[in-house]
Amino acid sequence: MPLLDIEDLHVQVEDQVILGGVHLTVAPGEVHAVMGPNGSGKSTLANVVAGRPGYEVLRGTVRLAGEDITHASPEERALLGLFLAFQYPIEIPGVSNMEFLKAAIDSHALARGEGAPSAAAFIRRARATAERLGLDAGFLKRGVNEGFSGGEKKRNEILQMLLLEPRIAILDETDSGLDVDAMQVVAAGVNDFRDNGNAVVLVTHYQRLLDYIVPDHVHVLAGGNIIRSGDRSLAQTLDRDGYGWIEDAC
């Protein structure tokens, strides 16, 4: 059974149709890259799958491990194992990263019918994971994304992903604003995360992230539809030729 199954998805934002019948099937163990020019609907796809308010699904379905989540709340989707790494992570002043993560992890534990982990166990794990991403211990005490650099925000998204262990992670332009060093750290985190039971969808404008996280499938989204799918070489073609040929083809 696919982990993520998007079928004929039509989405409108403020009276404008952004997605016009997207199909995408992601099996366990796979990494998919969704690429496309600016304004092609990439972020809309990522956000609508995560249940962000403001997106109206006109037609189609989204299934997570067989369960229809087209109209589920963002929280239900998260608890079923969906994770969205935000393109622009949100700042929450006054709430520490630690308490935010603990609240999220406790919710997941509760949803699985388990007890919340002890504070000590949680802190140990959070610190070790942060360290793997090159984030010092003080990072966990700071307000969520408050005053973080662009790179820190993106690493924080990966930290959350590693701690929440989703079944499917959608990374929305996680590479944007990262220098090469930070991108390698982020990529190492994603590669550590990958296993045969989960899957990753990388939404990106550039192919450079794909040098570090090798996708099994590459899709080109343009004009609200996936107009071409292929293997890794498609990304390299895009990198070489740009998106101009697609716009001509549309």
Partner 1 sequence: MPASAQGPQAVEALYARLLGKGTVSYAPAIDRDAARTRIAADGLPVARAEAWKYSNVGKWYQAALEPVQAPGVRETCVPGGVDLHRFDDPAAAPLLTKHLGTAIDLARHPLAAVNRILLGSGVVVRVPAGCRIDEPVNVDDIGAAYEHILLIVEPGAELALVETPIAATHRVVECIVAEGARLTHRRVQPRGQAPQCGLIAAKVEQQAHYSLWLAARGTELRRNDIHIALAGRGAETHLHGAWRLGEREHLDNQVTVDHLAPDCLSRQTFRGVVGGRARAVLNGRIHIAAGAQASDASLTTKSLLESTDAEVYAKPELEIYANDVRCSHGATVGALDEAMLFYCESRGIDRDAARGLLLRGFLREAIVGEEAIGVLAAGFSGADGSLGATLAGDVASAGGEVQ
Q: Which residues bind partner 1 (CB under 8 A)?
A: 50-53, 73-75, 77-79, 83-84, 86, 89-90, 92-95, 99-100, 103-104, 107-108, 111, 143, 160, 164
The smaller minimum CB distance to partner 1, of residues 89 and 215, is found at 89
> Checking DSSP bridges between strand 199-204 and strand 168-172, what pairing results, if any?
parallel
Give the DSSP letter string of 166-199.
-SEEEEESTTTT--HHHHHHHHHHHHHH--TT-E
The smaller minimum CB distance to partner 1, of residues 37 and 81, is found at 81
| Distance in Å, CB of 37 to partner 1, minimum | 25
Contact status, residue 165 vs residue 197, Cβ threshold 8 Å: no
The smaller minimum CB distance to partner 1, of residues 2 and 74, is found at 74
- Give me Rg for the CA atoms of the chain: 18
Nearest to 182 by CA among 134, 127, 128: 134
| Distance in Å, CB of 223 to partner 1, minimum | 27
| Distance in Å, CB of 73 to partner 1, minimum | 7
Please say whether the dihedral angle defined by the alpha carbons of residues 214, 220, 226 and 227, taken in this order, is positive or negative: negative
| Distance in Å, CB of 160 to partner 1, minimum | 6
Task: Look at the block and give the residue holding tokens 């982020």.
Answer: 186
CA distance 103 to 228: 40
Q: Is 113 helix (H, G, I), strand (E, B) or coil?
A: coil
The smaller minimum CB distance to partner 1, of residues 46 and 218, is found at 46
| Distance in Å, CB of 250 to partner 1, minimum | 31
The smaller minimum CB distance to partner 1, of residues 99 and 239, is found at 99
